[in-house]
Amino acid sequence: MAETGASPLPPTPPARSPLFRAEQFVWLTARVLEQRLFAYHFLHGNADPVETALDAYRNQDGGYGHALEPDLRGPVSQPLHTAHALRVLDSIGRCGGQRVERVCRYLTSVSTPDGALPAIHPSQRGYPTAPFVPVVDDPPSELLATGPVVGVLHRNEVWHAWLFRATDFCWQAVESLEKSHPYEVQAAVAFLDSAPDRPRAEAAADRLGRLVREHRLAALDPDRLDAYPVASGYAPGEHHFPHDYARTPQSLARAWFTDDEMTRSLDFLASEQQEDGGWPIRWRQWAPAPALEARPLVTIEALRTLRSYGRPIG
């Protein structure tokens, strides 16, 4: 007989729901960090275990390494790892205080002469790296690396000297784009969605949305993918969809797409869940470990996107 007054068990997703299937996939394949992120976002988990797991990737210089971004292996801090760490901290409401002060000092130390970030710092040389991520001795500033970092820091009202020149770089880079590719556009959106000057951000986003449509950088009909080009250097079939740009309905990129286009995009995203419960990665796979580690990341992102649009996940 059940004991009266007992505490209720934590809720579990309905069996065979997208969330239940994804949970099984995460427990089977994910790193500790992604297991704890999944628990935080979907199982009423606490933020402390997420931050503890993330600390394992932090280096003495204030940056992050150790393959936090799976396509860059090795221990050294890199801007892309550090951007990933900031996104994690942002998602759990911990993007502030001394931890972010340390990050900004690291960002200052690896910035290019114009105050922005390279995609890959030369310290990566000698460690396994995805072949589509070149390591050069004097890397240029990249919107791809700088935009998401500046965006997340502004969203969390972080004020640091590093932000001034980096923000100016992002404005110049976004407003001068004449042609681009999907990952750079996503980085621009990450900046514009949180840039403090909202009228300027809205104007820049409107122009960027026209560029995306004119250059067919978003696959608007998942049933006719052959009608949309794949960007140079991308893997065969590495298309990007409206939901990849507008991760939430509040994103400025949402205005780029009609309701029907977004519905088709979200239907496609939901249908992409695999038999094992995870979502696939669409970029080029170059080694087993990075592909295995990336899929839980993509799975958590897919579930968060579907949920933000009110799609039932369980």
Please report which confidence band the pLDDT of residue 9 belongs to, taking 50, 70 and 90 as the band edges. Answer: low
Q: Is the pLDDT of residue 250 over 80?
A: yes
Residue 76, in any domain of the structure? no
Percentage of the residues of the chain whose pLDDT score is greater than 90? 94
Per-residue pLDDT at 65: 98
- 8 A C-beta contact, residue 179 and residue 215: yes
Residue 291, in any domain of the structure? yes
- 8 A C-beta contact, residue 41 and residue 18: no
Q: Is the pLDDT of residue 28 over 50?
A: yes
Rounded CA separation 29/289 (Å): 11
Mean of all residue pLDDT scores within the chain? 95
Q: Which residues of 231-248 are buried (b: 16+ CB within 10 A; e: fewer)?
A: beebeeeebbbbbbbbbe
| H or E element that contains 305 | helix 288-308
Residue 110, in any domain of the structure? no
Residue 246, in any domain of the structure? yes
Per-residue pLDDT at 7: 47
Q: Is the pLDDT of residue 209 over 90?
A: yes
Cα–Cα distances (Å) from 130 to 51, 185, 212, in that order, read 27, 21, 26
Residue 85, in any domain of the structure? no
- Residue 129's nearest CA partner among 280, 278, 284 is 284
Please report which confidence band the pLDDT of residue 14 belongs to, taking 50, 70 and 90 as the band edges. Answer: low
Please report which confidence band the pLDDT of residue 277 belongs to, taking 50, 70 and 90 as the band edges. Answer: very high
- Domain around 270: 189-313
pTM, 2 dp: 0.93
- Residues β-bridged to residue 64: 58
pLDDT digits (tens, 9 = 90+) for 125-183: 999 999 999 999 999 999 999 999 999 999 999 999 999 999 999 999 999 999 999 99
Q: Is the pLDDT of residue 6 over 90?
A: no
- Residues β-bridged to residue 239: none
- Pair of tokens at residue 187: 């980085």
Mean pLDDT of 226-254: 96
Q: Is the pLDDT of residue 279 over 80?
A: yes
Residue 148, in any domain of the structure? no
Residue 49, in any domain of the structure? no
- Residue 217's nearest CA partner among 203, 201, 234 is 234
- Residues β-bridged to residue 129: 72
- Residue 91's nearest CA partner among 52, 40, 55, 159 is 40
Q: Is the pLDDT of residue 24 over 90?
A: yes
Q: Count of domains in the chain?
A: 1
Q: Is the pLDDT of residue 10 over 60?
A: no
Mean pLDDT of 197-206: 98
Mean pLDDT of 24-40: 98
Per-residue pLDDT at 4: 47
Mean pLDDT of 49-68: 98
Report which of residues 187 and 12 the model is more confident about.
187
To the nearest 10 degrees (0 to 180), the angle between helices 198-214 and 161-175 is 40
- In terms of Cβ atoms closer than 10 Å to its own Cβ (0-12, 13-18, 19+), residue 119 is buried
Residue 259, in any domain of the structure? yes
pLDDT digits (tens, 9 = 90+) for 282-310: 999 999 999 999 999 999 999 999 999 99
For every residue of 51-73, DSSP letters joined together read: HHHHHTTB-TTS-B-TTSSTTB-
- In terms of Cβ atoms closer than 10 Å to its own Cβ (0-12, 13-18, 19+), residue 272 is middle
pLDDT digits (tens, 9 = 90+) for 73-129: 999 999 999 999 999 999 999 999 999 999 999 999 999 999 999 999 999 999 999
